[in-house]
């Protein structure tokens, strides 16, 4: 019975650690530079070939401060490569990943994470008035 209880605790701890706040699980690479009730802004710095741990972000926007190429490993093991140029921005859907800077140079980005419910979809286009005769 103790073995089962210990196994349950280990499994629950593993699930909790599976995807967590990057600032808590990887403070070497992630620093909070601003936070309020609407957004959290992260300064993210990776050295050449450095890798993080599995973590998650809400919907966000990333602004590249340097050119870079990042490999994202997803929880299912699939990978994606993302390339960005300094000054470029990218919208990011909420999700879990493990990033790795695959370039030979340091990578720095600013990530603006949105808090709360995501913005509602835009309203449908206004209907045009019928042409005057």
In the prediction, which pLDDT does 116 show?
A: 84
Q: Which domains does the chain have, with CATH numbers?
A: 2-114 (2.60.120.10)
Strand pairing partners for 69? 83
DSSP3 helix / strand / coil % (the chain, rounded to 5): 15, 40, 45
Where residue 127 falls among pLDDT bands split at 50, 70, 90? low
Nearest in space to 48 (alpha carbons), one of 103, 119, 116: 103
Q: What's the mean per-residue pLDDT of the chain?
A: 84
Across 2-13, average pLDDT: 46
Alpha carbon dihedral 89, 20, 59, 76, in 10-degree steps, equals 90
pTM higher than the cut 0.95? no
| d(C-alpha 78, C-alpha 88), whole Å | 25
pLDDT band at residue 117 under the 50/70/90 scheme? confident
pLDDT (tens digit per residue) in 90-111: 999 999 999 999 999 999 999 9
For residues 133 and 124, what is the distance between their CA atoms, to the nearest angstrom?
A: 27
How far apart are the C-alpha atoms of 58 and 53, rounded to whole Å? Answer: 16
């Amino acid at each position: 019975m103790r073995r089962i209880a210990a196994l349950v605790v280990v499994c629950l701890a593993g699930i909790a650690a599976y995807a967590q706040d990057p600032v808590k699980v990887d403070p070497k690479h992630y620093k909070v530079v601003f936070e309020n009730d609407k957004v959290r802004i992260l300064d993210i710095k990776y050295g050449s070939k450095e890798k993080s741990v599995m973590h998650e972000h809400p919907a966000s926007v990333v602004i590249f401060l340097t050119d870079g190429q990042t490999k994202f490993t997803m929880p299912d093991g699939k990978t994606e490569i993302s390339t960005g140029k300094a000054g470029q921005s990218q919208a990011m859907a909420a999700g879990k990943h493990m990033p790795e800077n695959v370039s030979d140079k340091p990578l720095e980005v600013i990530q603006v994470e949105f808090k709360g419910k995501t913005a509602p979809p835009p309203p449908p286009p206004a209907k045009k008035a019928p042409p005057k005769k």
